[in-house]
């Protein structure tokens, strides 16, 4: 959920050197566990289906924890608390949608995608779009859109891993990038999504434990939420206003983009294919929502807590808002807790990178060939090869061009949202949606997001307060989808295969 702001913010953080014996020891244990899981998973990966959607499927608890892990990037631990420290409670509108997004995804997408997987043995999101509209063109276009988003995400995650690993081990940014990407690549290429899922389970558990412990520590250190609020209200009441320092339009825009946009995030939506038994979806939204709440406790408590501690003089003023978490961990909390959180941040970036590598490899070896009317014969072999290539390309891009990488990472979330939500989320629930509407909507989202983000990056155009390129592109994509589908409505019935129609009727 928070990846968009997450990685790009993390990149701007000059994390302090945390290389102390306890932090290094916990970091080494963390990497040892990741490698052990990867070796185990590699032995169980024999086919392309094993590699891309974990073969016969994953159990409910494992899938839930893995899904929480990929939904939250390092932003929840570093950039997010810093954002709250800077703008107050307005920053909460990025995470408040978590209360509805998981169950919304379950109603709108989970059942239909899981059943489509059952009916057609689908393995990717463009697969679902291709099946829904009986269109190789729509499948190819959505694949291209996802690939563009992944390019940015992968490079930014590679750089974020470098920042975190450098902070833990003090090895330098360049080595940090290659060590992080090397470990992620080792388990992505050998064990595919199976290694990714079980590493996500480990990483998600680590993140939840670290988050809860930090939350409890902050409340205890600050004398409870009431005392923390009193301290802030005495010095800076706007901070605890309902919008913080943001305008209402900006805060509500965050809520819109991070709620509706969640329906187009491939790293989370792709997981629906993997549940072993479709009937286990029953408890999936509840468990995932509770998991997310646990992981996001740190986001809120550190942001608000550090503000109060700085105002009361218990913590020195921060050099920049993004130092909120590192300053708290290295100056106030026990060092073992700090070690746990630093490993948690590494876990968050690696888990996101693994997920995107896998989705990118599936697009290159599966969706794009299908769009051109071809099939790759050895999808598993090619999947592993492309996985290696994507990881190396991301690491090189991350090392060579920091500023450009940060720009690429910014529009990932919005690009996925504006290109996929109408065609996928509405399309799978509305038989009147048409192929032309879906393709026009995907193209609109792609073009508007790229154009507006580039214009904003080059400072040739600036948005009025509260309006973001992501939100504008998503709204435009929705409107185009509805209008073009309505104009071409006569073709709708002919574009639905009987099995897809059945899945949509259930």
Pick out residues in 416-455 that bind other proteins (CB under 8 A). 425-426, 429-432
> DSSP character for 158?
H
Under DSSP, is residue 461 helix (H, G, I), strand (E, B) or coil?
Answer: coil
**Among the listed residues 58, 91, 131, 260, the single contact to other proteins using CB under 8 A:** 260
Token pair for 409: 């990472």
**Within 192-231, which residues bind other proteins (CB under 8 A)?**
224-226, 228-230
Token pair for 436: 């032309």
Give yes or no for residue 479 binding other proteins (CB under 8 A): yes
Question: Least distance to other proteins from the beta carbon of 84, Å?
Answer: 12
DSSP line for 33-75: HHHHHHHHHHTT--SHHHHHH-TT-B-HHHHHHHHHHHHS-GG
Give yes or no for residue 259 binding other proteins (CB under 8 A): yes
Question: Least distance to other proteins from the beta carbon of 478, Å?
Answer: 5
CA angle, corner 153, sides to 419 and 19, nearest 5?
155
Nearer to other proteins, 241 or 334 (CB): 241
Give yes or no for residue 282 binding other proteins (CB under 8 A): yes
CB burial of 40-49 (b: ≥16 within 10 Å; e: otherwise) equals ebbeebeebb
Question: Which residue stretch of 99-107, 126-134, 341-349, 351-359 sits at the interface with other proteins (rule: CB under 8 A)?
Answer: 99-107
Compute the distance between CA of residue 483 and CA of residue 491 in angstroms, rounded to an integer: 14
Compute the distance between CA of residue 449 and CA of residue 453 in angstroms, rounded to an integer: 6
Nearer to other proteins, 242 or 334 (CB): 242
Question: Least distance to other proteins from the beta carbon of 300, Å?
Answer: 8
Strands (E), 12-62: none
Question: Least distance to other proteins from the beta carbon of 22, Å?
Answer: 32
Give yes or no for residue 253 binding other proteins (CB under 8 A): yes
Binding mask 487-506 for other proteins (x = CB under 8 A): ------x--x-xx-xxx-xx
From residue 17, give the alpha-carbon distance in Å to each of 10, 157, 159, 171, 384: 15, 19, 16, 10, 35
CB distance 305 to 228 below 8 Å: yes
Give yes or no for residue 278 binding other proteins (CB under 8 A): yes
Upper half-sphere CA count for residue 361 (Cβ side, 13 Å): 32
Question: Least distance to other proteins from the beta carbon of 329, Å?
Answer: 23
Q: Is 373 left (phi over 0), alpha (psi -120 to 50) or beta?
A: left
**Among the listed residues 39, 319, 465, 487, the single contact to other proteins using CB under 8 A:** 465
**Among the listed residues 33, 35, 42, 103, the single contact to other proteins using CB under 8 A:** 103
Question: Least distance to other proteins from the beta carbon of 124, Å?
Answer: 18
Q: Which residue has the tokens 């969706």?
A: 367
Upper half-sphere CA count for residue 315 (Cβ side, 13 Å): 25
**Among the listed residues 22, 33, 240, 455, the single contact to other proteins using CB under 8 A:** 240
Question: Least distance to other proteins from the beta carbon of 228, Å?
Answer: 7
Token pair for 241: 């206003």
Give yes or no for residue 324 binding other proteins (CB under 8 A): no
Under DSSP, is residue 58 helix (H, G, I), strand (E, B) or coil?
Answer: strand
**Among the listed residues 10, 60, 63, 106, the single contact to other proteins using CB under 8 A:** 106
**Among the listed residues 100, 209, 294, 389, the single contact to other proteins using CB under 8 A:** 100
Nearer to other proteins, 299 or 356 (CB): 299
Number of residues that bind other proteins (CB under 8 A): 81
Name the H helices within 170-283: 173-222, 225-235, 248-260, 266-269
Give yes or no for residue 172 binding other proteins (CB under 8 A): no
Question: Least distance to other proteins from the beta carbon of 424, Å?
Answer: 12
From residue 37, give the alpha-carbon distance in Å to each of 23, 34, 71, 261, 284: 21, 5, 21, 32, 24
Question: Least distance to other proteins from the beta carbon of 451, Å?
Answer: 16
Binding mask 56-95 for other proteins (x = CB under 8 A): ---------------------------------x--x--x
Tell which residue, 71, 94, 76, 75, has the closest CA to residue 11. Answer: 75
**Among the listed residues 42, 293, 332, 389, the single contact to other proteins using CB under 8 A:** 293
Nearer to other proteins, 150 or 246 (CB): 246
Give yes or no for residue 341 binding other proteins (CB under 8 A): no
Query: By CB neighbour count within 10 A (0-12 exposed, 13-18 middle, 19+ buried), where does 256 fall?
Result: middle
């Amino acid at each position: 959920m928070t990846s968009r702001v997450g990685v790009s913010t993390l990149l701007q953080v000059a994390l302090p050197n945390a290389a102390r014996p306890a932090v290094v020891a916990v970091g080494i244990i963390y990497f040892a566990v990741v490698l052990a899981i990867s070796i185990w998973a590699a032995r169980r990966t024999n086919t392309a289906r094993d590699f891309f959607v974990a073969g016969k499927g994953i159990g409910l608890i494992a899938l839930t924890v893995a899904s929480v892990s990929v939904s939250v990037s390092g932003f929840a631990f570093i950039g997010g608390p810093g954002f709250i420290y800077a703008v107050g409670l307005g920053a909460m509108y990025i995470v408040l949608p978590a209360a509805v997004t998981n169950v919304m995804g379950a109603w709108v997408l989970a059942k239909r995608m899981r059943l489509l997987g059952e009916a057609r043995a689908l393995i990717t999101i463009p697969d679902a779009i291709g099946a829904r509209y009986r269109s190789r063109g729509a499948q190819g276009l959505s694949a291209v859109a996802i690939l563009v988003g992944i390019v940015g995400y992968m490079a930014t995650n590679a750089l974020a891993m470098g920042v975190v690993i450098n902070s833990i081990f003090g090895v330098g940014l360049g080595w940090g990038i290659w060590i992080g990407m090397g470990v992620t690549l080792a388990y992505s290429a050998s064990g595919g999504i199976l290694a990714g899922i079980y590493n996500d389970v480990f990483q998600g558990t680590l993140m939840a434990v670290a988050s809860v412990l930090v939350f409890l520590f902050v409340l205890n250190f600050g004398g409870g939420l009431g005392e923390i609020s009193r301290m802030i209200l005495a010095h800076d009441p706007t901070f605890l206003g309902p919008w913080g320092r943001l305008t209402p339009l900006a805060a509500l825009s965050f809520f819109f983009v991070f709620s509706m946009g969640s329906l187009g995030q491939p790293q989370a939506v792709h997981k629906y294919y993997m549940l072993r038994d479709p009937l286990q979806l029953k408890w999936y939204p509840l468990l995932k929502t509770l998991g997310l709440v646990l992981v996001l406790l740190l986001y809120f408590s550190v942001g608000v807590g550090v503000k109060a501690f700085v105002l009361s003089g218990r913590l020195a003023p921060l050099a920049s808002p993004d130092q909120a978490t590192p300053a708290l961990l290295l100056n106030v909390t026990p060092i073992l807790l700090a070690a746990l959180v630093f490993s948690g941040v590494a876990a968050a970036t690696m888990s996101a990178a693994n997920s995107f590598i896998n989705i990118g490899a599936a697009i290159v070896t599966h969706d794009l060939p299908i769009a051109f009317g071809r099939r790759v014969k050895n999808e598993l072999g090619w999947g592993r090869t492309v996985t290696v290539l994507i990881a190396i390309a991301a690491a090189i891009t991350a090392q060579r061009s920091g500023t450009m990488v940060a720009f690429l990472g910014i529009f990932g979330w919005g690009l996925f949202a504006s290109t996929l939500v109408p065609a996928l989320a509405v399309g799978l629930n509305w038989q009147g949606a048409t192929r032309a509407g879906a393709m026009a909507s995907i193209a609109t989202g792609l073009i508007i997001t790229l154009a507006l983000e580039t214009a904003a990056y080059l400072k040739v155009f600036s948005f009025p307060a509260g309006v973001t390129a992501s939100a504008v592109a998503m709204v435009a994509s929705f409107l185009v989808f509805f209008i073009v589908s309505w104009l071409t409505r006569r073709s709708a019935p002919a574009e639905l295969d009987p099995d897809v129609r059945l899945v949509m009727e259930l």
